[in-house]
Amino acid sequence: MDDDALVAALRAGDEPVFCEVVSGYHGAMMRLASLHVSSRAVAEEVVQETWLAVVKGLDRFEGRSSFKTWVFTILANQARSRGAREHRIVPFSSLEADEKTLGVPGERFQLPTDRWPGHWSEPPSPWTDVPAAALEGKETRALIFDAIRSLPPHQREVIALRDVEGWSAEAVCSALSMSEGNQRVLLHRARGKVRAVLEQKLHHVVTA
């Protein structure tokens, strides 16, 4: 169903269509909301409030973005303000200091006075020896989720939409009102930090 048909059906009070779209978006909405608030229960409330706002605001939807983008924009705003009220999420302050090095701490590279300035001094060790079970396990997923949650808000939203939900760069820029360049910088930092968290954990698996 295309957006026009979908919105028309919703405006006309088509219940099966409403249920379908609520179910279809639920996982993605819960994950996005969970990044901002302290618990699953609160995330559920945020998702619920978002749908109520969507139903109420249907007549105001003008189709300037896709319906999905519109819903997620409302969700992001609700989740953000709810999270801000909770004051629960504290970004890694130590990682913020490394922003300029774009994803990898500067001390991992050689100094200007070293033999190969700017080249790795502490290179990443391959994950090829990591057992698949450890890499694909629940624990690794939880670790990634926590790592994403701990990112500064914009990085968190960009990586969640791009890499977890698989949105296109364009859709993310539109939902979060940011330039493509800015989106790439945020994505780069976010991915770099999540990789670093994985590296730390997988290193222990290999050496254990």
Partner 1 sequence: MTSYEDFPCAEAVAMVTDYFEGALSTEDRAVLERHLAWCDWCATYVEQLRETIRLAGTLRDDDVPAPVMDVLIEAFREMRGS
Work out how close the CB of 64 gets to partner 1 at its nearest, in angstroms, rounded to a whole number. 22
CB of 104 to partner 1, least distance (A): 5
d(CA 154, CA 199): 23
Instruction: Please state the closest distance from residue 169 (CB atom) to partner 1, in A.
Output: 6
Judged by CB, which is closer to partner 1: 84, or 199? 199
By C-beta, is 86 or 180 nearer to partner 1?
A: 180
Q: Point out which residues bind partner 1 (CB under 8 A).
A: 10-13, 15, 18-19, 22-23, 26-27, 30-31, 44, 47-48, 51-52, 55-56, 58, 101-104, 106, 109, 116-120, 123-127, 135-136, 140-141, 144-145, 148, 159, 163-164, 166, 169, 180, 184-185, 187-188, 191-192, 194-195, 198-199
Which residue blocks in the chain are alpha helix, DSSP H? 3-11, 15-34, 40-57, 67-86, 93-96, 132-136, 138-149, 153-159, 169-176, 180-207
Main-chain dihedrals φ then ψ at residue 123, nearest 5 degrees: -70, 160
The answer to whether 46 and 79 are in contact (CB under 8 A) is: yes
CB of 13 to partner 1, least distance (A): 4
Question: SS3 of 117, please?
Answer: coil
> Judged by CB, which is closer to partner 1: 117, or 131?
117
* For partner 1, the closer CB: 65 or 140: 140
Q: How far apart are CA 151 and CA 89, in angstroms?
A: 9
Q: Which is nearer to partner 1, 37 or 194 (CB)?
A: 194
The answer to whether 42 and 86 have CB atoms below 8 angstroms apart is: yes
Q: Is 178 helix (H, G, I), strand (E, B) or coil?
A: coil
